[in-house]
């Protein structure tokens, strides 16, 4: 069986957790509103909006994959308000020793550092807690905001080539950014506050 990725990871401002059926309405509302912006770099969004039944099937798949340790997709929620702000995940398509991290966030939260915070937390969990050999991020070179995230965290640009990318594994020209376990301590990730893993105690404050 695969890595025991936690169902919930908390950062200073975010809760990353496995999706639940109760998330369907907020997920649909945000994705539908953001559809045109997301579709520029994410081909899956070009099929939006999908029906409530189809959305329920997507979330059921996320939950099943988590339960069976096949793949790990998180909803991103504002830690104070509980508001749904986007999605991220620790994906297993690179094999048993590595994770690929993907992400998107709603437009009104761009530029706030939340994606950087979410990626740093998942990178720490993958490399330090779970002992993965490396973490990888793939992005379109034209997506300046997306590529700025691994660059700012100390990932190395390992390659630029036509390869599979994203949830649907479409082939496109991508940059491949990597951070190994050996390089973790020298990266910006190591200087950031540690995430909390698992459900926190009721009323417990987040602390670095």
- CATH code of residue 112: 3.40.630.30
* Confidence at residue 137, expressed as pLDDT on a 0 to 100 scale: 97
* Confidence at residue 169, expressed as pLDDT on a 0 to 100 scale: 53
Q: pLDDT truncated to tens, each residue of the chain (208 aa)?
A: 578 999 999 999 999 999 999 999 999 999 999 999 999 988 899 999 999 999 999 999 999 999 999 999 999 999 999 999 999 999 999 999 999 999 999 999 999 999 999 999 999 999 999 999 999 999 999 999 999 999 999 999 999 887 655 555 565 679 999 999 999 999 999 999 999 997 654 444 444 4
Domain presence at residue 37: yes
Looking at the DSSP assignment, which residues form a beta bridge with residue 197? 9
Domain presence at residue 111: yes
Query: What are the angstrom distances between the C-alpha of 122 and each of 50, 73, 132?
Result: 29, 11, 11
CB distance 5 to 201 below 8 Å? no
Domain presence at residue 112: yes
What range does the domain containing 188 cover? 8-192
| Reported pTM | 0.91
* Confidence at residue 1, expressed as pLDDT on a 0 to 100 scale: 57
Structure-token match 């437009």, residue found: 107
Residues in CB range of 40: below 8 A, 6 or more apart: none
Domain presence at residue 199: no
Q: Report how many domains make up the chain.
A: 1
Query: Measured between alpha carbons, how far is 38 from 31 in angstroms, rounded to an integer?
Result: 8
Domain presence at residue 140: yes
CB distance 140 to 133 below 8 Å? no
End-to-end, the C-alpha distance of the chain in Å comes to 32
* Confidence at residue 167, expressed as pLDDT on a 0 to 100 scale: 53
Domain presence at residue 74: yes
Angle of helix 144-153 relative to helix 114-124, nearest 10 degrees, comes to 50
Per-residue model confidence as pLDDT tens digits over 72-121: 999 999 999 999 999 999 999 999 999 999 999 999 999 999 999 999 99
Domain presence at residue 1: no
Domain presence at residue 150: yes
* Confidence at residue 181, expressed as pLDDT on a 0 to 100 scale: 97
């Amino acid at each position: 069986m695969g890595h025991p990725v936690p169902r919930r990871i908390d950062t200073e401002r975010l809760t990353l957790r496995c999706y639940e059926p109760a998330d369907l309405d907020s997920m649909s509302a945000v994705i539908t509103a953001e559809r045109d912006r997301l579709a520029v770099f994410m081909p899956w969004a070009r099929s939006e909006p999908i029906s409530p039944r189809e959305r329920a099937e997507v979330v059921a798949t996320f939950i099943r994959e988590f339960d069976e340790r096949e793949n790990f997709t998180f909803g991103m929620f504002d830690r104070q308000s509980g508001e749904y702000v986007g999605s991220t995940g620790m994906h297993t398509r690179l094999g048993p020793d590595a994770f690929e991290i993907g992400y998107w966030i709603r437009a009104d939260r761009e530029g706030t550092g939340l994606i950087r915070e979410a990626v740093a937390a998942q990178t720490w969990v993958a490399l330090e807690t779970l002992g993965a050999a490396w973490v990888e991020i793939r992005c379109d070179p034209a997506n300046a905001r997306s590529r700025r995230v691994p660059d700012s965290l100390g990932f190395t640009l390992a390659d630029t080539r036509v390869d599979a990318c994203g949830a649907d594994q479409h082939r496109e020209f991508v940059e491949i950014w990597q951070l190994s376990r050996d390089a973790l301590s020298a990266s910006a990730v190591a200087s950031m506050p540690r995430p909390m893993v698992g459900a926190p105690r009721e009323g417990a404050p987040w602390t670095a």
